[in-house]
Amino acid sequence: MGRIENHPILGASPEGKLVTFYYNGKPMEGMEGEPIMAALKVNGVMVHRYTAKTHEPRGVFCAIGRCTDCVMVVDGKPNIRTCITPLKAGMKVETQYGVSAKEA
């Protein structure tokens, strides 16, 4: 979806440090320290997980760590709220199926 480079009220967006992370094994770039969700969105990733029983796609809903719709498997750990977890270099972010990184 893209970054806002310049905003009429907030001015130029702060310049961050670009780092590489891995989305389902594929290298992607994001700003260090921004929520994982933000980096994924800029890279066009909308689906964060699929529900266990009915295999429905879910993504970001509240963006403040409340609804848990955006959870993914991060560095092997499931149920990580990607909207409030800061991105780090080398992070492994995987689509979550139910509560695991593998489709059942």
Partner 1 sequence: MDIRRYDMIVIGAGPAGLSAAIEAAKHGVKPIVFDENARPGGQLFKQIHKFFGSKEHKAKIRGFKIGEELLAEAEKFGVEVVLNATVVGLYPDKEVTVKIGEEIQHFKGDSILVATGASENMVNFKGWTLPGVIGAGAAQTMMNLHHILPGKKVLMLGSGNVGLVVSFQLMQAGCEVVALCDAAPRIGGYGVHAAKVARCGVPFYLSHTIIEAEGDEYVTGVTIGEVGPDWKIIPGTEKHFDVDTICLAVGLSPMSQLLDQAGCQMKDTRGGFVPACDAEGQTSVPGIYAAGDVSGIEEASSAMIEGRISGITIAEYLGFAEKEEKESRISELEAQLDTLRQGMFAPANRGKKIEKTEEGIAISENLLVKGFVSDEEIGRFPGVTKQRKIHPVMECTQNIPCNPCQDACKRGCISIGSNITSLPVVDKEHECIGCGLCVASCSGQAIFLVEEDVEPGYGEVTMPYEFMPLPVVGEKGIACGRDGKAVCDCEVTKVRTSPAFDHTNLLTIKVPNDMLMKARFYRAKKEAAYD
Alpha-carbon gap, residue 43 to 2, rounded angstroms: 8
What's the chain's Rg over C-alpha atoms?
Answer: 14
Alpha-carbon gap, residue 84 to 74, rounded angstroms: 12
Asked whether position 56 contacts partner 1 by CB under 8 A, the answer is: yes
Asked whether position 47 contacts partner 1 by CB under 8 A, the answer is: yes
Asked whether position 76 contacts partner 1 by CB under 8 A, the answer is: no
Among 32, 59, 88, 92, binds partner 1 (CB under 8 A): 59
Among 48, 74, 80, 82, binds partner 1 (CB under 8 A): 48
Sign of CA dihedral 61, 62, 66, 70: positive
Asked whether position 18 contacts partner 1 by CB under 8 A, the answer is: no
Asked whether position 58 contacts partner 1 by CB under 8 A, the answer is: yes
